[in-house]
């Protein structure tokens, strides 16, 4: 058995991966004083660690020296953590003390895998998204069809009217902005798969935990606030490429090579449709975000998922905070 339930209140380690993430300076003091805080800084010349040490004297700051991706940064932090429960928190997110305790208590329950709270944005509006498993059909439909036209089981996000957003319960997996997991369970499945440089890490971890009988759960009475950040166009292209690379890797890892080839074909066709229709779409309100540059980055990502090796070289640093390295935005 992995991760036997604790007989006393579980100890908590909050792991934050930063890439010169200045939003962390504003949120570090909001973390419960009794929680262990571990910050993994992946920008070699960042001044953020100095601010973290000044504001949170008991924090452990690890300088990785190189950006190895979100999952690798989380693994490095977890390897230096002592808590019964690991809480992975984006640098631009915060969680209150009571929510942190409740997440930890559920995380050490016998059949719990990943545990996630309700998510609010900077305006205080709910933005919680528990998610269905990635499949070629789900991902292609999300690209081509308005959400209202897609049946609930084929949507990327579980529909907002689902009772689990109000009552809680088992879901395929939860958002990675704030997620708790029992330390024993995390290490039993070898933590995050570092082949996923960006996107897909929490889904892959949830799938492997499920193989051990541990189910991801949503705990809506707990709350985390996720502010979110913006990216430069070059970094946005890199993030889009990694999103589609991760899609193909997910199919191959959990459904086999045939699914990866089928998925690559389906996503390629969907991206080509979006690319061909962009001159028309840019004149309408529908999917203006998916520009021709975005579509080409997606096509590169599909190719990388099929043929690229394990390692990924991050884009050149712009000297600004890059949220793709420290957490994830909307995919």
Q: What tokens were used for 25?
A: 């300076």
Taking each continuous run of H as one helix and of E as one strand, the counts in the chain are 12, 9
Residue-wise pLDDT for 94-118, tens only, equals 999 999 999 999 999 989 999 999 9
Residue-wise pLDDT for 12-57, tens only, equals 999 999 999 988 988 899 999 999 999 999 998 899 999 999 999 9
Q: How many CB atoms lie within 10 A of CB 266?
A: 20
pLDDT at 276 over 80: yes
- Which pLDDT score is estimated for 317? 58
* Region of poorest pLDDT, from 125-139, 179-193, 283-297, 309-323: 309-323
Q: How confident is the model at residue 180 (pLDDT cuts 50, 70, 90)?
A: very high
Report CA-CA distances (Å) from 163 to 92, 111, 118, 178, 191. 28, 21, 13, 21, 30
- Closest by CA to 32, choosing from 116, 128, 99, 107, is 99
pLDDT at 152 over 90: no
Domains of the chain in start order, with CATH, are 12-132+158-226 (3.90.550.10), 233-315+322-326 (no CATH)
pLDDT at 67 over 60: yes
- Which pLDDT score is estimated for 313? 67
- Which pLDDT score is estimated for 286? 82
What are the respective helix, strand and coil percentages of the chain, to the nearest 5?
40, 15, 40
């Amino acid at each position: 058995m992995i991760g036997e339930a604790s007989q006393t209140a579980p100890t908590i380690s909050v792991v934050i991966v930063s890439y010169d993430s200045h939003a962390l300076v504003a949120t570090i003091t909001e973390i419960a004083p009794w929680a262990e805080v571990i910050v993994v800084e992946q920008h070699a010349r960042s001044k953020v660690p100095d601010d973290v040490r000044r504001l949170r004297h008991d924090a452990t700051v690890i300088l990785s020296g190189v950006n190895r991706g979100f999952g690798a940064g989380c693994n490095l932090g977890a390897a230096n953590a002592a808590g019964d429960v690991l809480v992975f928190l984006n640098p631009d997110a915060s969680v209150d003390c009571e929510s942190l305790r409740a997440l930890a208590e559920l995380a050490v329950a016998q059949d719990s895998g990943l545990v996630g709270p309700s998510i609010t944005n900077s305006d205080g509006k709910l933005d919680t998204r528990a998610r269905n498993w990635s499949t070629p059909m789900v991902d292609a439909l999300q690209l081509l069809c308005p959400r209202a036209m897609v049946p609930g089981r084929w949507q990327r996000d579980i529909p907002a009217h689902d009772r689990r957003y109000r009552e809680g319960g088992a879901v395929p997996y939860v958002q990675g902005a704030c997620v708790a997991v029992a330390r024993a369970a995390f290490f039993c499945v070898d933590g995050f798969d570092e082949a996923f440089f960006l996107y897909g890490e929490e889904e892959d971890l949830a799938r492997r935990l499920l193989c051990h009988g541990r189910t991801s759960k949503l705990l809506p009475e707990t709350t985390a606030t996720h502010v979110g950040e913006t990216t430069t166009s070059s970094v946005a292209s890199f993030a889009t490429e990694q999103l589609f690379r991760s899609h193909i890797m997910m199919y191959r890892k959990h459904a086999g090579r045939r699914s990866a080839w089928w998925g690559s074909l389906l996503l390629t066709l969907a991206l080509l449709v979006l690319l061909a229709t962009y001159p028309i779409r840019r004149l309408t309100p529908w999917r203006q975000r998916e520009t021709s540059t975005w579509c080409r980055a997606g096509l590169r990502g599909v190719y990388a998922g099929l043929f690229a090796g394990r390692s990924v070289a991050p884009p050149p640093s712009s000297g600004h905070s890059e949220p793709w390295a420290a957490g994830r935005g909307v995919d």
